[in-house]
Structure 1
């Protein structure tokens, strides 16, 4: 992997399209009684959260854990597609999540991006329950340097693709922040999920 330059903004408008279309079309679980949970308005961001920890040096992430929703998944690097959109993990590996490896690594100053499928044709995938997260939940990211970056969730929101707030989600941050993204919102069997669930978190510890 080449040297990164914190170019998180590169994935702005196109990224939400890739995430939504990459895990949404014609899925078994979308739109029925087993539809994935969606965040309530009570989990929307009131402020940016408090108690930020000092930034860590750059180090690629290898695993993400979200105990509150029983996520414990390996991470793979994601790039951009030929159209400039954020790529997604292979649909046939539902337990795999990915991170945007040309941007910020989780724990260093800036906005790190993690994305994964909500489901596939066989059932729930890695971030099926992402919309059930609450403010204050902990997200742990194991890093290649042997350390763990610990983030605290300060908002969980759902957006329609047409109203996706690029700057709010992908914009640069002055402290270590993390976004975890999957499909969400309304569902159509012809076009898939109509939006995205986005978790906002900031670094509050390391080990």
Structure 2
């Protein structure tokens, strides 16, 4: 149970503005899926098993899981971040060998009627572990040693995902460098990356 002071502090820690933006993007994405799957027969569009309906079920499940995550103490995520990260690396490596070939990619685990892509979950564990490392009092993002450590956290899952022939998911991890830049990464790396994109 929370005292009044603890309850107030808890409410302050929840970023409702970001949650509202996230839900808005999810709703917009669902309407985009409906538009891409549009059929003049509306009953087929919303039939169980159709793409919009399946996405709606996943959205509902995500909202429930998100609510449950908000109820969990943040200390758990901080203390277990390295465990989550290492476990997800193991799952990414395992996926390379056991995932079926789906359109040339070995990135989807098929469990009965469910298809799960570990690369999506790895984004969360990578973000958690990177944030955990950057928050350590003895870690300062300055110098080649600290850069190599931070880059390693990002690039190890990227390499495993590339081995699954899932380049699209791997490219998303580039966004982590924006977080590193905010934490003190020199702009030289971003400049080099921008020039490389421009050149190629």
Tell me the TM-score normalized by structure 1: 0.23
**Bigger RCO of structures 1 and 2 (CA < 8 A, at least 6 apart):** 1
Higher helix share: 2
Higher strand share: 1
